[in-house]
Each structure stands twice: as C-alpha cells, then as structure tokens.
Amino acid sequence: MSAPEPTSATLIGTLTLAGLLSGLVLVGVFQSTKPLIAANRAAAMEAAVTRVVPGAVKAASYERVDGKVRASQVAVGASSDKPMAYAGLDKAGKVVGYAIPAEGPGFMDTIRVLYGYVPGAGTIVGMEVLDSRETPGLGDKIYKDADFVANFKKLDSKPEIVGKKKGTKSKPNEIDFITGATISSKAIVKILNGSAAQWAEPLAAGATPTQGKQP
C-alpha cells in the first residue's frame, strides 16, 4: 500500500515468506490433530461395526487380496487401497460376523453403507448408511425409516436380494421397498448385492490370518 512500486524481488520474497510461514503452521496443526482424527474415525467405525454385527464388541480389520481374505495391518476405519471388511469380535475374541463397507450411486450422490454379514449362510444381519445425500424426507428414509432398516436384520443375500413393493415381501431374500424412495431403496439393494457377491466366497473360505503378519 506504500507509494513507491515494490520491486519484483520484494514481491517474490514476501510471497515465499508467507507460503513458508503458512506451511509451517499447517504442518504443526496437521501433526497435532492427526492422531485425534484417526482415533475419531476408528471409534466411529468400531461403533458402527458393533451396531451392524449383533453380539460384536470389538472390530478387527481384514482385507481382500486376490480373492482371499487376510488380516490387515490397516487400522479400523482408516482408508486403504484394498477392499476392507471388519470382523466383529465378541467378548471372547471370537468372530461373530463381518461388517463390510460398500458404496454405490444413489439418487443424489454416492451412498456409503456398512452391513453386517455372516459368511457361509450368507445372511445379512444389519445395515447402516454411513454417508449419503439422499433427499430429506424421501430418500433419507433408507436410514430414517425403522421398517426399512429392519429389513436388513435377517436377510438372505443368496442367490441375491430382491426388492418388493411395500408389504409384499414373502421370502427370506426379499425386502420391502420404501414408497416414494424407490431409487434410493434400489440403490441399497444394488450396493449390497454387488458387495456380497464379491465377499461371499472369500469370506466363506475363511481368513488366513498368518499371511497378514508378513507385509
């Protein structure tokens, strides 16, 4: 704001200094908040796992590599480049089911869900929407409508989940759609079918925890 025109060197110097200082501050804040943010994510995911897998009190990470499931070094809730599933462990540390995150296109944006899955029988034992931007009052019934959510408490995923008009489900692999939220309900069914098909065989074959220890 001073009257004489500043030289280019001054401008470059000022901007470099500003960038450096800003960088220092950002690194400081990032480093100090990183462990808390990671802990929050892990706690949120672990809580979600215990909700969709009845009987589970703890979660352990597993990943799928070449059609096989193995214990993962990645923390619960942390992002990974491999498809992840979380084993729901009961108090004795026994696996009571798996919580599998899955996602797919919804009506507005990507819907991310976590569902509880018992391998072998292929039963879905719970489902929770982690993230969605479905229309309030209509599409958001996929997690606000208790009747719809109850569909997923005991649902056969084999041969595949079939959606029916509300009140007409009769078989263990059928669910009732939500009136007025057909696209969002269909999206959930599609996400679950797609994900369950990928995980069914690897999970039924059993995890190979010994391999996970070697990176």
Partner 1 sequence: MSHDNGPSLWSTFSAGLWRENPIFAIVIGLCPTMAVTNTVTNALVMGVATAFVLMGSSAMVSALRKVTPGPVRITIYIIIIATFVSAVDWALAALLPLAHKQLGAFISLIVVNCIILGRAEAFAARNPVLPSVLDALGMAAGFTLAMLMISTPREILGSGTLLGLPLFGPRFEPWVIMVLPPGGFLTMATELTILAWWRHRSAERQALAEAT
Query: Whole-number minimum distance, CB 75 to partner 1, in Å?
Result: 16
Residue 121 binds to partner 1 (criterion: CB under 8 A): no
CB nearer to partner 1: pick between 44 and 204: 44
Using the rule CB under 8 A, is 80 a contact of partner 1? no
Establish if 162 lies at the interface with partner 1 (CB under 8 A).
Answer: no
- Any idea what the Cα angle at residue 210 is, between residues 207 and 69, rounded to 5°? 25
Q: Is 105 in the site for partner 1 (CB under 8 A)?
A: no
# residues near partner 1 by CB under 8 A: 27
- Whether 170 and 212 have beta carbons less than 8 Å apart is answered as no
Binding test (CB under 8 A) with partner 1, winner from 120, 136, 167, 215: 136
**Residues near 88 by Cβ (< 8 Å), separated by ≥ 6?**
49, 50, 52, 53, 55, 56, 58, 59, 95, 96, 97, 98, 99, 116
Please tell me whether residue 68 adopts helix, strand or coil conformation: strand
Q: Which two tokens stand for residue 154?
A: 């005991």
Binding marks (x or -) toward partner 1, 44..63, rule CB under 8 A?
A: x-------------------
Tokens of 5: 């025109």
Rounded to 5 degrees, φ, ψ at 201 are: -70, -50
The one segment of 37-45, 112-120, 198-206, 207-215 that binds partner 1 by CB under 8 A: 37-45
Positions in the binding site for partner 1 (CB under 8 A): 1-2, 5-6, 10-11, 14-15, 18-19, 22, 25-26, 29-30, 33-34, 36-37, 40-41, 44, 131, 135-138
